[in-house]
Amino acid sequence: MSPLVSGFSKLSKTDKIKWLATHHFNNDPTATAVLTTYWNSDEKLQRLHDEFTENTISNYYLPFSVAPNFVINGKTYTIPMAIEESSVVAAASKAAKFWQKRGGFTAKVLSTTKVGQVHFLFTGVPDHLLQFFTEIEPVLRASVSHITKNMEKRGGGLKSIELRDKTAQLDSYYQLHCTFETADAMGANFINSTLEQLAKTLVTEAKHYEHFSISDKHIEILMSILSNYVPECLVKATVSCKIDELESTATLSAEAYAKKFIRAIQIANIEPYRAVTHNKGIMNGIDAVVLATGNDFRAVEAGAHAYASRKGTYTSLTHAEIKDDTFTFSIEVPLALGTVGGLTNLHPLVKFALQLLDTPNATKLMEITAVAGLAQNFAAVNSLITTGIQQGHMKMHLMNILNQFEATAHEKAKLIKYFETNTVTHNEVVTQIEKLRTS
């Protein structure tokens, strides 16, 4: 059991590690060595990483990979991906190469509106509240002008404020439902600061509103917070080609392949058990780009899955169809991303990733990220309906198993050759390592 500790955050990094080693690892020097091994030798860079968060004791590394050959709206990209699963990068690269020969991907941002809400309780007369809101809306807007003016210069700002009556769902509950444009910033701090000021102004104005009775005057603010559900911050990506341009297999004609592919997508549209795994594969690609570019992948995940449930059941984020002998595969997904603020100006690899993408604005990054998700899904469904998912996945996983058993360079070369024509399973890899080591 971990002992209680007071003032841990005030300890130096070295003393934090000493406390952990003493109370959790019986002063085993290996524990300390693991942490210090991952410190950056550049003291300035390490200090930067230490200050990204709280109670930092080391760095946690993820591979920073790239997937080349993505043609998006006629321009070629090499996409950065931060992820530990090798098959994701391999699959994305394979899909990019496949569609590069067929005109590439098209992508378009449909809307960029984000949402924030002031949640409050009001026990007075609903009509009095509506009249009050109508009269003070200009005051609410004026009260946040000092927060919004710089964003407005960049084309963003507070777009709308709507009073929403939610008392049918919860007694006395109302919202100020606000929409925002945040230009190239993700905008969380901007939105939250604006909402908190709106809440203060709402309470202040209510106290002095002459048409309120005594019981009307009390507005209790519950919370003021942005929403990570952004169904109006939406991007669509698409690939298409004539059916006869699709690759046939030994057992499937191009037409049969297309129909089987569409059936797989239809299953994800009607079967939530499949849809969750289907969309998880999409997010493999999206999250990897979001993380590499210093954005909030948890917010993107939450918003995407909520969007997949918007019609009352959880469904696929991608769609496929055949029309006029043309196969079309597309994704429509909400992505609240930024290319300024946060880590984008601080983390050296985030800077590199954005430069690699030719310093995109937020809408371009939305397009690129949606394409990564579509490519990932295409590769996954392609494997599922042809060879099966494990053949490619386990071959990519082979190196992890070999490293687990500390295989030498000679052993790796031998076993990679062996598994070119044999099925990779954990048990078979162990068997072959043992054979090599006893021969």
| Cα 13 to Cα 58: distance, rounded to the nearest angstrom | 9
**CA dihedral of 143, 149, 150, 155, whole degrees rounded to 10:** 120
Among the options 85, 216, 301, 428, which is catalytic? 85
* pLDDT in the model for residue 388: 66
Confidence of residue 420 (pLDDT cuts 50, 70, 90): confident
Q: In this structure, is residue 57 part of a structural domain? A: no
Element (H, E) at 221: strand 219-226
**Judgement on whether residues 166 and 69 belong to the same structural domain of the protein:** no
Quick one: average pLDDT of 423-428?
78
**Judgement on whether residues 171 and 97 belong to the same structural domain of the protein:** no
- Asked if residue 305 lies in contact with residue 377, where contact means CB atoms within 8 angstroms, the answer is no
Q: In this structure, is residue 93 part of a structural domain? A: yes
**Judgement on whether residues 149 and 165 belong to the same structural domain of the protein:** yes
Q: At what angle do helices 254-270 and 362-385 cross, to 10 degrees?
A: 110
- Tell me which of 226, 256, 282 is where a domain ends: 226
- Asked if residue 259 lies in contact with residue 361, where contact means CB atoms within 8 angstroms, the answer is no
Q: In this structure, is residue 197 part of a structural domain? A: yes
CATH number of the domain that 157 lies in?
Answer: 3.30.70.420
* pLDDT in the model for residue 410: 83
**Judgement on whether residues 244 and 361 belong to the same structural domain of the protein:** yes
What residues are paired with 161 via a beta bridge?
A: 178
**Judgement on whether residues 21 and 77 belong to the same structural domain of the protein:** no
Q: In this structure, is residue 56 part of a structural domain? A: no
Residue-wise pLDDT for 282-310, tens only, equals: 999 999 999 999 999 999 999 999 999 99
Strand stretches in 27-131, DSSP E: 64-72, 75-82, 106-112, 114-122
- Tell me which of 208, 226, 244 is where a domain ends: 226
**Judgement on whether residues 100 and 139 belong to the same structural domain of the protein:** no
Q: In this structure, is residue 266 part of a structural domain? A: yes
Catalytic residue status for 393: yes
Neighbours of 130 (CB within 10 A): 13
| Cα 248 to Cα 256: distance, rounded to the nearest angstrom | 8
Greatest mean pLDDT range, 79-88, 157-166, 402-411: 157-166
User: 88-114 burial by CB neighbour count: b if 16+ within 10 A, else e?
Assistant: bbbbbbbbbebbeeeebbbbebeebbb
| Cα 218 to Cα 132: distance, rounded to the nearest angstrom | 13
* pLDDT in the model for residue 172: 95
Among the options 236, 278, 319, 393, which is catalytic? 393
* pLDDT in the model for residue 162: 98
Residue-wise pLDDT for 170-203, tens only, equals: 999 999 999 999 999 999 999 999 999 999 999 9
Catalytic residue status for 351: no
Residue-wise pLDDT for 91-129, tens only, equals: 999 999 999 999 999 999 999 999 999 999 999 889 999
Catalytic residue status for 114: no
**Judgement on whether residues 261 and 358 belong to the same structural domain of the protein:** yes
When comparing pLDDT for 210 and 55, which is higher?
A: 55
Percentage with pLDDT > 90 across the chain: 80
The domain of 40 spans 8-50
Among the options 184, 287, 296, 367, which is catalytic? 296
pLDDT score of 382 more than 90: yes
**Judgement on whether residues 135 and 17 belong to the same structural domain of the protein:** no
What residues are paired with 251 via a beta bridge?
A: none
pLDDT score of 142 more than 90: yes
Nearest to 322 by CA among 241, 385, 382, 268: 241
Into how many domains does the chain fold?
4
Q: In this structure, is residue 58 part of a structural domain? A: no
Among the options 280, 417, 426, 435, which is catalytic? 280
| Cα 114 to Cα 118: distance, rounded to the nearest angstrom | 14
- Tell me which of 370, 386, 402 is where a domain ends: 386
Q: In this structure, is residue 147 part of a structural domain? A: yes
pLDDT score of 217 more than 80: no
Confidence of residue 406 (pLDDT cuts 50, 70, 90): confident
- Ranking 97-101, 314-318, 408-412 by mean pLDDT, the lowest is 408-412
**Judgement on whether residues 268 and 314 belong to the same structural domain of the protein:** yes
Q: What is the pTM of this model?
A: 0.89
Confidence of residue 395 (pLDDT cuts 50, 70, 90): low
**Judgement on whether residues 34 and 182 belong to the same structural domain of the protein:** no
Q: In this structure, is residue 1 part of a structural domain? A: no
* pLDDT in the model for residue 401: 81
Nearest to 370 by CA among 321, 307, 433, 432: 307
Residue-wise pLDDT for 15-52, tens only, equals: 999 999 999 999 999 999 999 999 999 999 999 999 99
